[in-house]
Copies of this chain bind each other. A is one copy, B any other.
Amino acid sequence: MKVGIAGLGRMGRRHAENLARHVPGCELVAACSPVVEELEWAGRELGVPRRFADYEAMLASGGVDAVFLVTPTTLHAQQIVDALQAGKHVFSEKPLSLELAECRRVEEEAARHPGLKVMIGFVRRFDAHYQSAYERIRAGAIGKPFMVRSHTLDKNDPSGFFVRFSETSGGMFLDMSVHDIDTARWLLGGPQPVRVFAAGTVAVHEGLRQWGDVDNGMAIAEFADGSIAYFGASRTMAHGFEAQTEIVGTAGRLTVGPVPRADDVAIADAHGVRHECTPTFYERFAGAFLNEARDFVAAVRDDRPPALTLHDATEATRIGMALRESLLTKRAVEL
């Protein structure tokens, strides 16, 4: 299976390295990026033979079975459609789109190409610890699951990156909480959302106010089967990145990631007894990003459905957008 990657920014380079070196059964044969240095890096470091300044050229050039999209969110939907029409399997970073209509357009296009695989990278589904929780639930360890409490916390970045990024990211709930939303849907068995409420505050980064965004937020979602979920998000943590998910069932509770340890080393020193923390999401989920690529390649190779559907991605966007609407209107939003 021959793969072309689009986008060689920070995350793009990581995906490219995984595909070039660590994913059995695939070959990274092409890359495209508008940045000359990035393409040079792909040739020099990873030996990617064919390099393109634009995506269309890569699609048109032939010799590629699948594309990996690690491009800005606003491009995802159209690039997926283009790839499908060019007969390529597609992996795209999350989120699918910030527009519900776009999500549905992609779903419809994909339906016209039943032989092609499309998967959006909700990376937590591929993390060993989340998978362990999922399997315990399926094995009945907590009875019937009915409640999730999940949060994603970023270490504070004083550089102001968050503020600039907020203009196009769709805001904290669509950028960060989509992971918690998708995780909750996955662990609860995909219930239908009926109502959400969100609240937030600007604790540190005043510049976020201009985009209607916040740096700390919390939300509740109710589902048609009676399940409920809490989502928390922060961009101002002092200790590091943290992804924690609790799933409560009628016979017990599981907590994935109760403490955000960088490693399994306890330090006893003048600060007490402590664990250092993962600085960013990448250290936490490095293994999951690799599993995700492997799983997608295996799905194509074995012609089996990917681990999650485009509709899962649409639902995450739909709920995320409702959270944003609730944050702005200060009302509960019905879905």
Q: A residues bordering B, Cβ < 8 Å? A: 21, 24, 128-129, 132-133, 136, 141-142, 144, 146-147, 149, 195, 197-204, 216-220, 222, 226-228, 230, 232, 234, 236-240, 242, 248, 250-277, 330-332
Q: A129-B264, A270-B252 are in contact. Are A216 and B228 (CB under 8 A)?
A: yes
Which residues of B are found within 8 Å of A203, using beta-carbon distances? 144, 146-147, 226, 250
Contact call B276/A204, Cβ cutoff below 8 A: no
From B147, B232, B239, B252, contact of A239 by CB (8 A):
B252
If over half of A's interface residues share one DSSP class (helix, strand or loop), that class is named, otherwise mixed; here it is: strand
Which residues of B are found within 8 Å of A217, using beta-carbon distances? 228
From B220, B253, B276, B332, contact of A237 by CB (8 A):
B253
Least CB separation from A151: chain B residue: B149
Contact call A255/B239, Cβ cutoff below 8 A: no
From B142, B232, B271, contact of A271 by CB (8 A):
B271
From B128, B142, B226, B273, contact of A274 by CB (8 A):
B273
Q: A133-B265, A239-B273, A252-B269 are in contact. Are A220 and B199 (CB under 8 A)?
A: yes
CA A318 – CA B222 in complex, angstroms? 24
Q: A199-B228, A204-B250, A250-B204 are in contact. Are A239 and B270 (CB under 8 A)?
A: yes
Contact call B266/A197, Cβ cutoff below 8 A: no
From B133, B195, B254, B268, contact of A252 by CB (8 A):
B268
Which residues of B are found within 8 Å of A237, using beta-carbon distances? 253, 268
Which residues of B are found within 8 Å of A260, using beta-carbon distances? 273
Contact call B248/A216, Cβ cutoff below 8 A: yes
Which residues of B are found within 8 Å of A257, using beta-carbon distances? 264
Contact call B269/A238, Cβ cutoff below 8 A: yes
CA A144 – CA B238 in complex, angstroms? 13
Which residues of B are found within 8 Å of A258, using beta-carbon distances? 258, 264, 266
Q: Distance in Å from the Cβ of A275 to the closest Cβ of chain B?
A: 5
Contact call B254/A265, Cβ cutoff below 8 A: yes
Q: Distance in Å from the Cβ of A262 to the closest Cβ of chain B?
A: 8
- For this complex, 18 residue pairs linking A to B, each with C-beta atoms less than 8 Å apart, are A146-B201, A147-B201, A147-B203, A197-B332, A201-B227, A216-B228, A230-B232, A239-B253, A239-B273, A251-B270, A254-B266, A254-B268, A257-B264, A258-B264, A261-B264, A272-B275, A273-B274, A331-B331
Which residues of B are found within 8 Å of A255, using beta-carbon distances? 265-268
Which residues of B are found within 8 Å of A238, using beta-carbon distances? 142, 251-253, 268-270
Contact call B263/A232, Cβ cutoff below 8 A: no
CA A141 – CA B256 in complex, angstroms? 27
CA A273 – CA B272 in complex, angstroms? 10
CA A264 – CA B133 in complex, angstroms? 9
Q: Distance in Å from the Cβ of A58 to the closest Cβ of chain B?
A: 26
Contact call A277/B273, Cβ cutoff below 8 A: yes
Contact call B269/A141, Cβ cutoff below 8 A: yes
Which residues of B are found within 8 Å of A201, using beta-carbon distances? 146-147, 226-228
From B252, B261, B266, contact of A267 by CB (8 A):
B252
Which residues of B are found within 8 Å of A275, using beta-carbon distances? 272-274
Contact call A200/B228, Cβ cutoff below 8 A: yes
Least CB separation from A229: chain B residue: B218
